[in-house]
A and B are shown apart, each in its own frame.
Chain A
Amino acid sequence: MEIDDFIKAIEEEFDNLNPGDVTPNSVFRDMEGWSSMHALIFVALIDSKYDVLLNGDELKSCVTINDLFDITRLKLNGGGAKA
């Protein structure tokens, strides 16, 4: 699991994003038009791509794309309970 693939998947998912728009330090809640639907899409995307289901508390604890990547990788490697 590489962060470049993670970012690419996010950029491909949202129509208003172009390649290079997202970096590991991007604050995802600052995305244009951010809403709870975006949060759901992040959770669903991670579930579909990595079979890792983030819960609300875990999502709330993340600020940057890198935070999301880290927690996903941690759970993927068995470092967190699968919700």
Chain B
Amino acid sequence: MINFKGKTILVTGASAGIGSAVAQLCSDLGAKVCITGRNMDRLIEVSKQLSIESELFQADLTLEKDIDDLVKALPCIDGWVHCAGIIEPFPIKFIQSKHIKSMFTINFDSACLLSSKLMQHKKVNNASSFVFMSSVSASHPYNGGSLYAASKAALESFSRSIALEFSSKGIRSNCISAALVETQMFEKTKNSLSETELLGILSSYPLGIGKPMDVANAAAFLLSSQSSWMTGSVMTLDGGLLLNSKK
């Protein structure tokens, strides 16, 4: 049984979807949860659902100053689940610098900078665990998803480097490579799909698409000592999607 009593877990991108579910589960398992997001009202709503008093930090992780302020304000942590990110599909032919910057600043740069600054300020306890939200698209791309997939592939690579560099402190780093999960992001994506396309996507999941709590359960495992021999790994959660993949 996983028990986070006495542990402090940071959840970035906690105001909705997977991040919100992770915060909820970690709190239910006894952790003091530090939640961050851009919208304080939404963070307050999330915090009302938590079992244990949490700490809320309004931060836009695309801004280095906000990352600095967050790190200074945070207590020492025992775990971190990085859920902040965006999906903005864009065909390769039309990509401009602004699209690359927009995607990588939040999906990749924020993870790098926050990792670095947390360590610089000695805010990470020994034997902590980092969990980064990746995507099956990092190795199984889809039309229009080149930048998103590349940002997640970069994140997976970065996570492996963390695993290596911080191993002497017993700090672990792993990724969750998730396929489609029922979140607000998915609801937005649905608007660009025809009914036939949507049905095609849904039918390609033998176990159906995921729910935020499916991912939260995996994150809790990776945060916990139950996974103490796992580092630098990527855990796939896809409801069986890739079983039929020819890639």
Chain A residues engaging chain B, CB cutoff 8 angstroms:
29, 34-37, 39-41, 43-45, 47-48, 55-57, 59-60
Contact = CB atoms under 8 A, between A and B. Distances in A.
A56 B91 contact: no
B143 interface: yes
A56 B189 contact: yes
Interface residues of B, number: 16
CB-based closest 10 A-B pairs: A56-B191, A44-B94, A40-B144, A60-B191, A39-B192, A37-B143, A56-B188, A36-B193, A56-B192, A48-B94
Interface in B75-106: 89-91, 93-94, 96
B143 A59 contact: no
**Interface secondary structure of A, over-half rule:** helix
A56 to B, nearest CB: 3
Given A45-B94, A47-B94, A48-B94, A40 B143 contact: yes
Contacts of B192: 36, 39-40, 43, 56, 59-60
Interface in B177-220: 188-194, 197
Contact of B90 (A34, A44, A59): A44
**Interface secondary structure of B, over-half rule:** loop
A36 B94 contact: no
B96 A36 contact: no
Given A43-B192, A60-B191, 14 more contacts: A35-B194, A36-B143, A36-B144, A36-B192, A36-B193, A36-B194, A37-B91, A37-B144, A39-B192, A40-B143, A44-B93, A47-B94, A59-B191, A59-B192
B188 A55 contact: yes
A44 to B, nearest CB: 4
A54 to B, nearest CB: 10
B91 A41 contact: yes
Contact of A40 (B89, B190, B191): B89
Nearest to B198: A36
B194 A29 contact: yes
A44 B91 contact: yes
